[in-house]
């Protein structure tokens, strides 16, 4: 099932075709694909090149997968159970060099996960990010230190047909995508004033 971005602009095919399905095939993901996916994440830019991103990677059948899955809210567990790979993105809350608190680490982890997402698409896989998980459980399961913060969990794998999902989730797969218009986002002069580019 495809669900491309609704746009008349010729944006990059990997960006245009990306969406967040819930239906994953249990087929395992090849190790070399995962290696390229994490390598792509590594080359994102970051403030002072601090690279505040860390990843727990769970492969279905291993203890890490079970522990990430256990941290998910029940709503997400219902559909994520077939995902062959679960990835928890974790951020470093302090600058490694100065030990000062960082006010930009989440932004940089977001960049890194976006590069990871683009490489995931390039490998013919799909991904679905979740905020709905217990940070407390994550910290306990993995011994995440106090100066690191779990941020998201991503399900990753080959896509399957919507029909394999429980009915309520299968319906969600068909829900229309939506985004704000460019003139609500791209400003010139004053905040909120649409740029001529966006008209």
Taking CB under 8 A as the criterion, which residues in 111-130 touch a copy of itself?
111, 113-115, 117-119, 122, 129
* Rounded distance between C-alpha atoms, residue 46 and residue 131, angstroms: 22
**Smaller CB separation from a copy of itself, 170 or 182:** 182
Neighbouring residues of 126: CB distance < 8 A, sequence distance ≥ 6: 18, 19, 20, 21, 24, 120, 156, 157, 158, 159
Tell me which H or E stretch contains 197: none
**Smaller CB separation from a copy of itself, 98 or 163:** 98
Does position 49 bind a copy of itself by CB under 8 A? yes
Copy the structure tokens of residue 3.
Answer: 């669900």
Cβ-based burial of 73 (10 A; exposed 0-12, middle 13-18, buried ≥19): middle
Window 125-154: residues binding a copy of itself (CB under 8 A): 129, 131, 142-145, 148, 151-152
Does position 109 bind a copy of itself by CB under 8 A? yes
**Contact call for residues 18 and 152 (beta carbons, < 8 A):** no
Residue 124: CB minimum distance to a copy of itself, A = 12
Does position 9 bind a copy of itself by CB under 8 A? yes
Among 44, 73, 170, 172, binds a copy of itself (CB under 8 A): 44
- The CA-atom distances, in angstroms, between 82 and each of 40, 58, 62, 159, 190 are 25, 13, 14, 10, 47
Among 25, 28, 36, 93, binds a copy of itself (CB under 8 A): 36
Among 25, 55, 70, 158, binds a copy of itself (CB under 8 A): 55
Window 76-105: residues binding a copy of itself (CB under 8 A): 90, 104
Stretch that binds a copy of itself, among 39-47, 76-84, 163-171 (CB under 8 A): 39-47
Which residues, listed in sequence order, are joined to residue 91 by a DSSP beta bridge? 53, 149
């Amino acid at each position: 099932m495809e669900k491309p971005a609704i746009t008349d602009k010729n944006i990059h095919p990997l960006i245009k075709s990306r969406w967040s399905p819930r239906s994953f095939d249990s087929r395992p993901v090849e190790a070399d694909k995962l290696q390229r996916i994490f390598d792509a994440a590594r080359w994102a830019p970051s403030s002072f090149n601090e690279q505040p991103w860390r990843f727990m990677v769970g492969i279905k059948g291993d203890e890490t997968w079970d522990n990430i899955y256990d941290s998910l809210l029940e709503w997400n567990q219902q559909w994520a159970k077939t995902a062959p790979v679960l990835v928890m993105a974790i951020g470093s809350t302090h600058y490694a060099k100065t030990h000062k608190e960082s006010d930009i680490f989440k932004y940089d982890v977001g960049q890194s996960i976006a590069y990871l997402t683009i490489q995931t698409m390039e490998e013919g896989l799909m991904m679905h990010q979740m905020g709905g998980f217990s940070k407390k459980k994550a910290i306990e399961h993995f011994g995440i230190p106090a100066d690191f913060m779990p941020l998201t969990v991503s399900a990753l794998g080959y896509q399957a047909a919507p029909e394999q999902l429980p009915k309520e989730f299968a319906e969600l797969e068909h829900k229309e995508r939506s985004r704000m218009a460019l003139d609500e986002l791209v400003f010139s002069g004053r905040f909120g004033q649409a740029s001529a580019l966006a008209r």
